[in-house]
Amino acid sequence: MTLTAFLTLAGLQALIAISPGPAGVLTIKTAAAEGARSGLLLSLGLALAILIWASGAMAGLSLLFEIAPYLQTAFRLIGAAFLIWIGLSLWRKASEPMPDISAARLKSPLALLRLGLLTNLANPKALAYFAAVFTGIMPTDPTIGDATLILAVIFAIEFTWYAALSLVFSRPGPRRAYAHAKGWLDRAFGGMVALLGAKIAIP
């Protein structure tokens, strides 16, 4: 793989990671409400999901969708339903007070990893990118070394971005600001995610 192609892929992956979407919304809310530990565990799940998408793209995801386009439709509808569920959950819990991190029973590590994993597996942005753009940049016949390096970089970019969000929004200042505006922020976030899901379900 040429250096130019590698840098292009890494740059695009960074742009995809930092662009607004359900993963960022959920990371900010989780870190502000439950602290850095929860945010970092969620970030790990989000990054693992992207690793799965990238591995699938290398294994011929776009070809599979060409042969069986109904599978892409199924992925899209399942992802849309999951995003709508997340959005409605955020809206429904908007009136609940912020938990006391030192005393509250927070989500288990497994639950946070699973939530992050499912969120990015359901993310239509990831589906579109890895089924089309990513496969166009990848070398046609990557070596094992190329594939390993690409997957490692993709994972590192995704985890670093969401971990950074977690560390920022779990600090006392951002937490206080979030707590002050929690009701309308959660409704805004929830509405945005649910509307995104609805838009995906009805193209």
Residue 144 in domain: yes
Residue 18 in domain: no
Residue 174 in domain: yes
Closest CA to 186 of 100, 119, 92: 92
Distance (Å, whole) CA 64 – CA 11: 26
CB count within 10 Å of CB 16 equals 22
**Average pLDDT estimate for 113-139:** 79
Residue 17 in domain: no
- 137-187 pLDDT tens trace: 666 667 788 888 889 999 999 999 999 999 999 998 888 888 777 787 778
Residue 119 in domain: yes
Number of domains into which the chain is organized: 1
Write down the pLDDT at residue 102.
Answer: 54
Write down the pLDDT at residue 83.
Answer: 77
Residue 21 in domain: no
Distance (Å, whole) CA 31 – CA 139: 37
* 54 or 79, which is more confident: 54
Write down the pLDDT at residue 116.
Answer: 93
Residue 173 in domain: yes
Residue 20 in domain: no
- 72-122 pLDDT tens trace: 677 777 777 877 887 888 788 777 766 665 544 567 889 999 999 998 888
What pTM did the predictor assign? 0.79
Write down the pLDDT at residue 111.
Answer: 92
Q: 165, 39 in Cβ contact below 8 A?
A: yes
Write down the pLDDT at residue 203.
Answer: 63
Distance (Å, whole) CA 201 – CA 199: 5
Rg (CA), the chain: 18
97 φ/ψ angles, rounded to the nearest 5 degrees: -70, 160
* 156 or 5, which is more confident: 156
DSSP line for the chain:
--HHHHHHHHHHHHHHHHS-SHHHHHHHHHHHHH-HHHHHHHHHHHHHHHHHHHHHHHTTHHHHHHH-HHHHHHHHHHHHHHHHHHHHHHHHTTTSPPP-TTTS-PPPHHHHHHHHHHHHHS-HHHHHIIIIIHHHHS-SS--HHHHHHHHHHHHHHHHHHHHHHHHHHTSHHHHHHHHHTHHHHHHHHHHHHHHHHHHHH--
Write down the pLDDT at residue 27.
Answer: 93
Write down the pLDDT at residue 39.
Answer: 94
Structure tokens at 192: 């945005």
* 140 or 6, which is more confident: 6
- What domain range is 102 assigned to? 3-12+26-201
